[in-house]
């Protein structure tokens, strides 16, 4: 039996806000791939001016919470849910650049009379500008 040292893992690439600055077409879905929501996001090279844009809505401000390692963490809301009409929602998204796409996971917290209701969603974006 041969003794082998564990294989070294390559270091994760680091990300900066400048890497994602521009306009992105985003699609988020529930964990099963259903309930799609399409939005557009404008990202800047700093933490100001990030917005989410959807048809027939005012732009929704997006706050950059953290930039670390290969991830950018953003929050938005409260705003009226795209999926659950009449409910306010707050989202927190962790995004990474993978093969030129912005991919991530989103936690949506809906304000209901019985307390918060939480949904996990997947998101993927392609740069349009």
Q: Is the peptide bond before 78 cis (omega within 30 degrees of 0)?
A: yes
Q: What is the mean pLDDT of residues 78-98?
A: 95
Per DSSP, the chain holds a count of helices (H) and strands (E) of: 1, 8
- How far apart, in Å, are the Cα atoms of 116 and each of 31, 59, 83, 107? 19, 24, 15, 12
Domain ranges of the chain: 17-127
Of residues 46 and 112, the one with the higher pLDDT is: 46
Please check the confidence at residue 10 and state whether its pLDDT lies above 90. Answer: no
Please check the confidence at residue 115 and state whether its pLDDT lies above 90. Answer: no
Fold classification of 17-127 is Lipocalin (2.40.128)
pLDDT digits (tens, 9 = 90+) for 35-69: 999 999 999 999 999 999 998 999 999 999 999 99
Residue 126, exposed/middle/buried by CB under 10 A (0-12, 13-18, 19+)? exposed
């Amino acid at each position: 039996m041969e003794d082998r040292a564990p294989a070294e893992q390559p270091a994760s690439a680091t990300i900066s806000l400048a890497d994602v600055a521009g306009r992105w077409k985003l699609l988020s879905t529930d964990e099963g791939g259903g309930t799609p929501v399409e939005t557009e996001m404008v990202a800047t090279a700093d933490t100001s001016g990030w917005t989410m844009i959807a048809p027939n809505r005012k732009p929704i401000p997006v706050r950059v919470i953290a930039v670390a390692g290969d991830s950018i963490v953003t929050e938005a809301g409260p705003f009226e849910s795209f999926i659950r009409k009449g409910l306010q929602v707050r989202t927190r998204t962790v995004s990474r650049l993978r093969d030129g796409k912005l991919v991530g996971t989103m936690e949506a917290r809906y304000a209901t009379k019985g307390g918060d209701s939480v949904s996990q969603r997947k998101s993927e974006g392609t740069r349009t500008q």
